[in-house]
Amino acid sequence: MSKKSFGKFIPTVAHRDGWNCHYCKKPIAKQHQMIPSEAGYTVPKGFVFGTIDHKIPRSKGGDNQLENFVLSCHVCNSKKSNKHTYLEFKTLMGGAV
């Protein structure tokens, strides 16, 4: 597994959507809040590690465009994985579709 790093698209997507996980609404740590560690970074207590989720996975033809990105914590992103579509997972998490 590669070192965790701060995804280059996170600030752009967070600027659009706010600094919360799109699915579970937990606060995503901003770059300056992250704590360097042996694994790359850890996040302060109460925050989650942000990732970019592709609404339509690249394996299903989704592209690397801002409209296809949502800010997701690493927990939601790994739960969603490629087992659920965006709408399925959002419904599963109780979000309004």
Quote the least distance from Cβ 35 to Zn ion, whole Å.
Answer: 20
Buried b (16+ CB within 10 A) or exposed e, 5-39: eebeebeebbeeeebbbbbeebbbbbeeebeeeee
Please give the Cα distance from 7 to 23 (Å, whole number). Answer: 18
- Compose the 65-84 pattern: x for residues touching Zn ion by CB under 5 A, - for all others: --------x--x--------
Pick the closer one to Zn ion by CB: 61 or 78: 78
Scanning 21-29, 31-39, 49-57, 83-91 for contacts with Zn ion by CB under 5 A, the matching segment is 21-29
Using CB under 5 A as the criterion, which residues of the chain lie in contact with Zn ion when the complex forms?
A: 21, 23-24, 73, 76
